[in-house]
Amino acid sequence: MRIGMLTSGGDCQSLNATMRGVAKTLYENVEDVTIFGFLEGYKGLMYGEYEKMSSGNFSGILTEGGTILGTSRQPFKLMKQPDPDGNDKVQLMKGTYKRLKLDCLVMLGGNGSHKTANLLREEGLNVVTLPKTIDNDLWGTDMTFGFQSAVNIATNAIDCIHTTAASHGRVFIVEVMGHKAGWLTLHAGIAGGADIILIPEIPYDIKYVVDAINKRKKQGKRFTILAVAEGALSVEDAALSKKEFKEKRKNWKFPSISYEIAHAIQDMAGEEVRITVPGHTQRGGEPCPYDRVLSTRLGAAAAGMIMRQEYGNMAGIRNNKIVSVPLQEVAGKLKTVNPDDPIIMEAKSIGICFGDNPIAR
Ligand code: F6P
Do 350 and 238 belong together in one domain? Answer: yes
Do 204 and 238 belong together in one domain? Answer: yes
Clarify whether 135 is annotated catalytic.
yes
Closest ligand 1 atom to Cα of 134: 2
Do 225 and 343 belong together in one domain? Answer: yes
pLDDT tens, residue by residue, 178-191 = 999 999 999 999 99
Do 296 and 164 belong together in one domain? Answer: no
DSSP string, 177-204: --TT--HHHHHHHHHTT-SEEE-TTS-B
Domain span at residue 188 reads: 150-283+338-360
Q: Strands across the sheet with 171-176, in order?
A: 196-198, 224-229, 171-176, 273-276
Q: Indicate whether residue 179 lines ligand 1 (CB < 6 A).
A: yes
Task: Give the separation between CA 145 and CA 131, rounded to whole angstroms.
Answer: 7
Do 303 and 342 belong together in one domain? Answer: no
User: What is the value of pTM for the model shown?
Assistant: 0.96
Do 271 and 156 belong together in one domain? Answer: yes
CATH for 21: 3.40.50.450
Backbone angle region of 357, left / alpha / beta, with phi > 0 → left and psi within -120 to 50 → alpha: beta
Do 210 and 311 belong together in one domain? Answer: no
pLDDT tens, residue by residue, 32-77 = 999 999 999 999 999 999 999 999 999 999 999 999 999 999 999 9
State yes or no: pLDDT of 361 exceeds 80.
no
Do 277 and 172 belong together in one domain? Answer: yes
Q: What's the average model confidence in pLDDT over 316-332?
A: 97
State yes or no: pLDDT of 359 exceeds 90.
no
Do 124 and 20 belong together in one domain? Answer: yes
Do 180 and 131 belong together in one domain? Answer: no
Active-site residue among 85, 88, 103, 135? 135
Q: What's the average model confidence in pLDDT over 276-296?
A: 98
∠ CA 229-207-344, rounded to 5°: 45
Q: Ligand 1: distance of its center to the CA of 283 in Å? A: 9
R_g of the chain, CA atoms, integer Å:
22
CATH for 252: 3.40.50.460
Do 118 and 157 belong together in one domain? Answer: no
Give CA separation, 284 vs 64, 124, 227, 279, in Å.
10, 35, 20, 10
Do 264 and 350 belong together in one domain? Answer: yes
Q: Determine the 3-state secondary structure of 5 from DSSP.
A: strand
Task: Give the separation between CA 329 and CA 313, rounded to whole angstroms.
Answer: 9
Query: Is the Cβ–Cβ distance between 107 and 113 less than 8 Å?
Result: yes
State yes or no: pLDDT of 311 exceeds 70.
yes
pLDDT tens, residue by residue, 122-139 = 999 999 999 999 999 999
Q: Under 8 Å CB-to-CB from 325, ≥6 apart: which residues?
A: 140, 141, 313, 314, 315, 316
Express as a percent the part of the chain with pLDDT over 70.
99
Task: Give the separation between CA 114 and CA 132, rounded to whole angstroms.
Answer: 10
Q: Report the number of distinct structural domains present in the chain.
A: 2
Q: Indicate whether residue 132 lines ligand 1 (CB < 6 A).
A: no
Closest ligand 1 atom to Cα of 179: 8
